[in-house]
Amino acid sequence: MNHSSIVHEQREKRPNIFWWINIIVDYILGFILAALLIIGPFILLIQLKNFSAALLLVTVPIGLWILKWFLNKLGKRVWHGRHRSYFKLERNKLTYEESNIETRSLKKDTVSFESIQYIVSSLFILEDNHVFAASETGRISPLNIGSILYIVYLKDGHYQMTKVPFYPDERSINIWLETFQERSIPLYYTDLLLYNDSEKERLALFEDDDILVPYMYEQSWEEEIYSLKSKWEDRFEHVQS
């Protein structure tokens, strides 16, 4: 008999080989361009032996900036490839490791259900979706839109948040919503795309009740989303009028 307390595990998918090939080609072209802008003027200056050719040296700072930009992006890509977000839903708590590619840092925490204040369901645009592994149904959504749960909890007297993304056509979000519903954790929906906003920005926005629509999880998320979008649009239009 299985007595495991784990309800579900959600992992950020790793890019497949085709994604890496595209990235490598892009960076090779970028490094070639940077090298031409940095080294090219010196080669021409030596060959032409003409002082006017020194004017081409103005491209050197541009090349250095491009090189620095590509190295920074490459470093972030490599780091993110090795550090993927992981979320473990248990019967009475949530454990997660959330990666931040911009700061190259991992946020780790264990959150009891008692400390969760509310959860906001929403959507997000999945970057590079065309080269990620296929979804649970064996195909990739042409809309490149995934679902996401913003879990807001209280720790040491301060609100904190983690975001749990679900890829297009993944059904596992229903397990999470059903679990939270059973524990009477308030559920809300917003149609605003907040995935790329900072945690501080999202928390500030969630203080505005006008952008949140409360709901009860009564059917599958795939069916729920249509009515929630309609309710949110009606509410938003009423607030603006």
Segment 52-86, tens digit of pLDDT = 767 778 888 999 999 999 888 888 888 877 888 99
Q: Over 90: is that where the pLDDT of 211 sits? A: no
Given this model, what pLDDT does residue 177 score?
Answer: 95
Give CA separation, 176 vs 45, 133, 186, in Å: 65, 22, 13
Mean pLDDT, to the nearest integer, of 32-54? 81
Pairing status of strand 145-155 against strand 105-112: unpaired
d(CA 145, CA 126): 6
Burial of 184 (0-12, 13-18, 19+ CB in 10 A): exposed
Given this model, what pLDDT does residue 146 score?
Answer: 86
Given this model, what pLDDT does residue 127 score?
Answer: 64
Burial of 121 (0-12, 13-18, 19+ CB in 10 A): buried
Mean pLDDT, to the nearest integer, of 39-58? 78
Segment 90-121, tens digit of pLDDT = 999 999 999 888 888 889 999 999 999 999 99
